[in-house]
């Protein structure tokens, strides 16, 4: 049994098509399926929507049974540990006691780490990808301007917008900023360069460079599928996550993780940079343990974990085989 944990704006739909209406398969389709890295011929895979999100599990947009209205900001502040405890409750309900592995990228990777910290006896191995034990101040800074863009939208209305116009402008800007941090300067240069679009020259300050059109497209598309309050709650959970919370030192926090571990980061990722991943891996190695850590060459920035499958899927299958053999022998 393997648990997959999703990123900030992801959901439980991690692979395959659920219905004929699906335009795209799940977000980790190339990794999960028969014969793939997370081989469904060998392992059961489970993935749930995270607490605080807006895709199914309870979040600020859910109806508060006491009032019959959405929780909005009366939804309690949540942490990565709360997300993990919700997953734990689900597994208990399903009668699953042990996980061969927990894996996910970005915020999903924080979930992975917290599983190993909170429930070491249940987790035989972890595969945290493009993640870190605590977000950098630069990452927090981006989170905060994203939240400010949402909060400053007059439609946000203190979080009470469910019966009226959505804070669409603010949420779109937050997503645009997010996308800048998901790409790298190199990948933007290769993909968009300084090319401009002639058909956009309608207004004096209209879109013009292709990179601008791309960001607007991503921002606009996001608004219809994501809840602004969830964005605030989840980014706060990421900002505050610290693998060493309540520990004397970061090393002590890292030493709590006893599971076998395969860490993967990507060179051009500057939101969850290899430096941040290495900080945690180095701290774990101080306990004398062997940790698999691969920093992969890529120009795709943070998005690499959703792009560079041929460069890292074999690492996962090999690692899982090794872990399976160890526990079956």
Could you give the CA distance from residue 38 to residue 319 in angstroms, rounded to a whole number? Answer: 11
> Closest distance between a copy of itself and the C-beta of residue 256, in Å?
18
126 is a site residue for a copy of itself (CB under 8 A): no
Q: Is 223 in the site for a copy of itself (CB under 8 A)?
A: no
Name the percent of the chain in helix, strand, coil, to the closest 5: 45, 15, 40
CA dihedral 62, 68, 71, 72 (to 10 degrees): 100
By the rule CB under 8 A, 300 interacts with a copy of itself: no
Is 1 near a copy of itself (CB under 8 A)?
no
User: What whole-number distance in Å separates Cα of residue 213 and Cα of residue 15?
Assistant: 29
Q: Which of 5, 27, 38 lies closest to 112 in space, CA to CA?
A: 5
Task: Check if 224 is active-site.
Answer: no
Write down the least CB distance from residue 203 to a copy of itself, Å. Answer: 10
Residue 283 · residue 255 · CB < 8 Å: yes
Q: Within 242-261, which residues bind a copy of itself (CB under 8 A)?
A: 242
Mark 191-220 with x for binding to a copy of itself (rule: CB under 8 A) and - for no binding: -xxx---------xx-x-xxxx--x-----
In whole angstroms, what is the distance from residue 179 CA to residue 173 CA? 10
Q: Specify whether the CB–CB gap between 255 and 99 falls below 8 A.
A: no
Q: Among the options 106, 125, 230, 298, which is catalytic? A: 106
Q: Which of 145, 165, 221, 314 binds a copy of itself (CB under 8 A)?
A: 145
Q: Which of 71, 44, 39, 68 is nearest to 57 (CA)?
A: 71
- Kindly state the smallest distance separating residue 328's Cβ from a copy of itself, in Å: 41
Residues of this chain that bind a copy of itself (CB under 8 A):
73, 77, 134-138, 140-142, 144-145, 147-149, 151-154, 169-170, 172-173, 176-177, 180, 183, 185, 188-189, 192-194, 204-205, 207, 209-212, 215, 232, 236, 239, 242, 270, 273
């Amino acid at each position: 049994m393997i648990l997959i944990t999703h990123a900030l704006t992801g959901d439980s739909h991690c692979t395959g098509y659920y219905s004929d209406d699906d335009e795209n398969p799940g977000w980790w389709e190339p990794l999960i399926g028969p014969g793939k890295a997370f081989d469904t011929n060998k392992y059961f895979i489970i993935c749930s929507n995270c607490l605080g999100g807006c895709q199914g599990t309870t979040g600020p947009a859910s109806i508060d049974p006491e009032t019959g209205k959405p929780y909005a900001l009366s939804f309690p502040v949540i942490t990565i540990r709360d997300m993990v405890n919700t997953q734990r409750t689900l597994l208990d309900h399903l009668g699953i006691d042990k996980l061969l592995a927990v894996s996910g990228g970005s915020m999903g990777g924080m979930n992975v780490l917290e599983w190993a910290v909170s429930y070491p006896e249940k987790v035989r191995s972890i595969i945290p990808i493009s993640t870190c034990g605590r977000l950098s101040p630069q990452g927090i800074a981006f989170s905060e301007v994203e939240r400010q863009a949402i909060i400053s939208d007059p439609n946000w209305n203190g979080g009470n917008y469910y019966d009226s116009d959505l804070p669409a402008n603010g949420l779109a800007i937050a997503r645009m900023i997010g996308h800048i941090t998901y790409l790298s300067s190199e990948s933007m240069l290769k993909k968009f360069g300084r090319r401009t679009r002639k058909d956009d020259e309608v207004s004096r300050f209209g879109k013009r460079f292709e990179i601008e059109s791309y960001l607007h497209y991503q921002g606009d598309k996001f608004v219809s599928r994501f809840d602004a309050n969830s964005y605030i709650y989840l980014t706060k959970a990421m900002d505050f996550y610290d693998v060493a919370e309540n520990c004397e030192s970061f090393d002590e926090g890292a030493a709590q993780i006893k599971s076998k571990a395969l860490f993967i980061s990507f060179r051009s990722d500057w939101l969850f940079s290899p430096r941040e991943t290495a900080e945690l891996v180095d701290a774990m190695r101080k306990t004398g343990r062997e940790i698999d850590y691969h920093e992969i060459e890529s120009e795709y920035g943070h998005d690499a974990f959703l792009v560079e499958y041929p460069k890292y899927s074999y690492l996962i299958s090999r690692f899982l085989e090794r872990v399976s053999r160890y526990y079956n022998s």
